[in-house]
Amino acid sequence: MLLIGEIAQSAGVATSAIRYYEEIGLVQPLRREGGRRIFGDQAVNRVRAITAAREAGFSLDEIRRLLGSQLEGTEEWRALVEDKITGVEGCIVRLQAITKILRESLDCGCRAWDECPIATS
């Protein structure tokens, strides 16, 4: 059994994030004792999964669906993940293009970013 601070430390998030996740139904304590939330050991993995999903760009609604037991292993779950993969891959392509422009602009000899033909094209 874990207290909210222990989960926060293990999962690398603020206790306020866990309280918010509880408020919106993403995590639930097993019980309360003396006003303190008591969580099961699986809560750390749940919070880590939420953090990973947020970093991947899932919205809180998508995370709720992603972690919902009725969706586990279904085609809907698979479609949700595949759509996110497509979106992340698109971001990677765009960021690689931006990186290329930035690298090329370093060597173009312009003195102002807004006058650089590489950056403004």
* Together in a domain, 64 and 109: no
* Together in a domain, 2 and 44: yes
- Domain housing 55: 1-68
Higher pLDDT, residue 14 or 67: 14
* Together in a domain, 28 and 83: no
Assign residue 28 the CATH number of its domain: 1.10.1660.10
Q: Which of 44, 68, 92 is the last residue of a domain?
A: 68
Q: Is the pLDDT of residue 55 over 80?
A: yes
* Together in a domain, 88 and 118: yes
Q: Is the pLDDT of residue 11 over 80?
A: yes
How many independent structural domains does the chain possess? Answer: 2
* Together in a domain, 60 and 85: no
* Together in a domain, 84 and 39: no
Task: Give the mean model confidence (pLDDT) for residues 91-100.
Answer: 93
SS3 labels along 27-70: CCCCEEECCEEEECCHHHHHHHHHHHHHHCCCCHHHHHHHHCCC
* Together in a domain, 87 and 43: no
* Together in a domain, 83 and 105: yes
Task: Give the mean model confidence (pLDDT) for residues 84-92.
Answer: 95
